[in-house]
Structure 1
């Protein structure tokens, strides 16, 4: 039995905005839908949008879905999140936002929130007349032939959700959940994305210091610490059932809150010094000291 939140169960038993939107040919109003998934693969979603053309705003949203409890709840949550937003603002809604609205989803069900994000993008792209074929996620080599998942799509979900294992990728986009022959390629992609993130962080630090020719400001330091934690530290901790959250920065003292398995682990001190402090010292400043709160 999945450990669903009360919000997930509420929207499963009493989903909001379920159904379709009829196009009544109202002046200044457009009705469009985006569709993702496949019934053959177990999940499918059609998202309907009613758009105020002059203001580029979503007036209403409805959904039709074939899937599990998480798929229904995620679709319902998405419609609640986007109503009243401009299209550009709606495109900023991520699968994380959907999951957070629901109070969280089991990791094995995160693909349902990703499906909602993709359906929203498909609907807006369709309304704007952008062919799905030129969507960036449809470009690049096909990695998972069982579910038709491209390299670009896998890269995106790794980056946006700080994924560290092939099993996590499977939970988010199903890639690797069929025959399993692509799991080695997914591992290679994770390694490549991790390396690219590390290089980007180093470049950001070097650029900031070069441009300013003076020590990092407090704001810059906090931003870089958060970036290193999100892109290099958290994926490793999450893979072991833990996590870390930046609590405060006072000068060179970095205060963090260890969560999950890390919070109750007997080796939490080693985690602070080896996994977190050493990485921050390497990437930002040898003067940084990390302590738990």
Structure 2
């Protein structure tokens, strides 16, 4: 389930991927597999941000940058390769061949003594130096604001999604599979049409050729129209509250649009409406 939730998030090739503890509930092998997958996604050009609780030493080698939080404040923010050096220069020496994440946790809870504020101040200075070095080639001695101009804010939040046909094809496949998997509602609809047809045939038997019963014929036609309307509308009314939460999440993630969702629902329900006129 955890890997499936990550998989559906990368369907539309997002530019930024934010995950909350993607390895929780997984064993060490599966956790490492997830981290390697996220590393490959990051190498493809996607920015991956995730929270990890007590990662192993092998996982730490796949991180580019690390943010350590303690008491609601940042304790370290910088490259993963510099975390041991930064802690050591602040007065915290990591033993050889020691798990870095366990060492950081022990520092946070006070097992190694020292002053966390001193470490935090030193880390902030180190972070400032790294940021200034990164921005120096961009500024080149000038105000960086002149080089970074956003002409159209809408372009920054441009909708990134799959082509419309791919969305339509996947939604058609999913809706059809859901109908075939849960066919109880389909059987009930077919049974309701058969029962109502037999009942109305018995009630209005031979009414069509009698001119004196024209009002009964009108009532029969009116009842048929009402039945067809409600029999086709009620399944959608019953299913939408169940699917509303899923649709809202997937639509906000820009996986597909409202028009595509509505069109696939109409088309997948059309065969049943044709079979049950």
Q: Where on the TM-score scale, by shorter chain, does this alignment land: which range? A: under 0.3
Q: Which has the larger radius of gyration?
A: 2
TM-score, normalised via structure 1 length: 0.21
* Higher relative contact order (CA closer than 8 Å, sequence separation 6+): 2
TM-score, normalised via structure 2 length: 0.22
Per residue, is there more strand in 1 or in 2?
1
